[in-house]
Amino acid sequence: MDSKEKIRLTGYNNEKGVKAYIVNHINKYKLLKEMFVGETSKLESVKIFFDFCISVIVLGAGINDYFQYNFYKKNYSERNKFIVGRKWKKILLKCNGSTKIDTFDDKLKFNNKFNEFLKRDWLDVDKSNYDKVSDFILNHDSFFLKQNIGSGGNGISKYISKEIKNHKEFYNKIKGKSFILEEAIVQDKSLAEFNPSSVNTIRVVTIRDKDVVHIMDAILRMGNGEKSTDNFHQHGLAMKMDVDSGEVVSLAIDKSNNKYEYHPVTNKKLLGYKVPYWDKVKDTVIKASKVSKDVRYVGWDIAILESGEVSIIEGNCSSDPDITQMPKQVGRWEDYKKIIEKL
């Protein structure tokens, strides 16, 4: 199985048709069992499968939940502490009223609403003529081409401006197709040293209760190789941070359940690293959380620029709890439950 298929199966799929749904879920179950549990006897495989079915029925867990939270070696009391599919949906509906919010799912609408927090140049291609697009390319050494609708690092391509020889041809290829151009930011040097090919960001999860913003979790994310994305679902790395200090307090983990104390590319130590300008990061997400009054639960993706400014890359109104629970294998349901019950 190639790496693209593994990434697809370990994500959350929207298959069309009953047959495709069943086939994909069978393949996902087999893959995740192999990745997390490994080879087992036939009897043990049957036990795990029936235990999985019970978790689905009783807890509302999915295939990803069961394996990535190691439910196969946890008792019911331990499992009940994790935010799984059913509880995740409860959080989204209680906080946001929906699992989909147009302002957050559409990058163009998000950029317009949260422009003051972006700290980078960007351009709506469909509202720009050739001259504006050409000027944007000339004014930036590199940039990202992003589809308005897309998640998980999909629909994003990085371009080196000097390598685009024919601006007119490039413009004709992208116009009228709901693209935006975004300046490629230059990140803080200490973060870049871990994996220079990607912008290494922080996912900060907030819940707003009227005018009080609770910072629930913070996760440092890093690329793992030559890809320009640090996205966990594209097999980047994720590690838990202490919300008060900004220090990394867990080993890094990837979606395949590999664990790292040192970055696998640069061999720089991850555990104990302190994110710079952490107080400024917290201040930024607290202010941003008060912009959209109808959305209370958001996972903010934050980049720290070389200048020391804090840039919001995007906001995720259905931020996946896997990234906050996998690194330390600690369930977060009780802490989230206390907050959402007050809303």
| Domain spans, the chain | 3-80, 99-109+188-340, 121-183
Residue 69 has pLDDT above 60, yes or no: yes
| Alpha carbon distance 57, 150 (integer Å) | 31
Region 64-85 average pLDDT: 96
Region 263-278 average pLDDT: 96
* pLDDT at site 229: 63
* pLDDT at site 228: 54
First to last CA, the chain: 45
Q: Which of 50-54, 152-156, 257-261 has the highest mean pLDDT?
A: 50-54
Provide the strand spans (E) within the chain: 122-124, 142-147, 156-160, 179-183, 202-209, 212-222, 237-240, 252-253, 259-260, 297-304, 310-316
- Going by C-alpha positions, the residue among 295, 297, 301, 296 that lies closest to residue 281 is 301
- CATH code matching the domain that covers 99-109+188-340, chosen among 3.40.50.300, 3.20.20.70, 3.30.470.20, 1.10.3720.10: 3.30.470.20
* pLDDT at site 230: 62
* pLDDT at site 17: 79
CA angle, corner 70, sides to 69 and 75, nearest 5?
Answer: 105
8-58: pLDDT as tens digits: 455 555 566 788 888 999 999 999 999 999 999 999 999 999 999 999 999
Among positive and negative, which fits the CA dihedral 173, 179, 180, 183? negative
Region 110-130 average pLDDT: 97
The per-residue pLDDT of the chain, averaged, comes to 92
Strand partners, 305: 187
According to the CATH classification, is domain 121-183 in 3.30.1490? yes
Task: Enumerate residues 6+ apart whose C-beta is below 8 A from 321.
Answer: 82, 83, 88, 332
Confidence of residue 206 (pLDDT cuts 50, 70, 90): very high
302-321: pLDDT as tens digits: 999 999 999 999 999 999 99
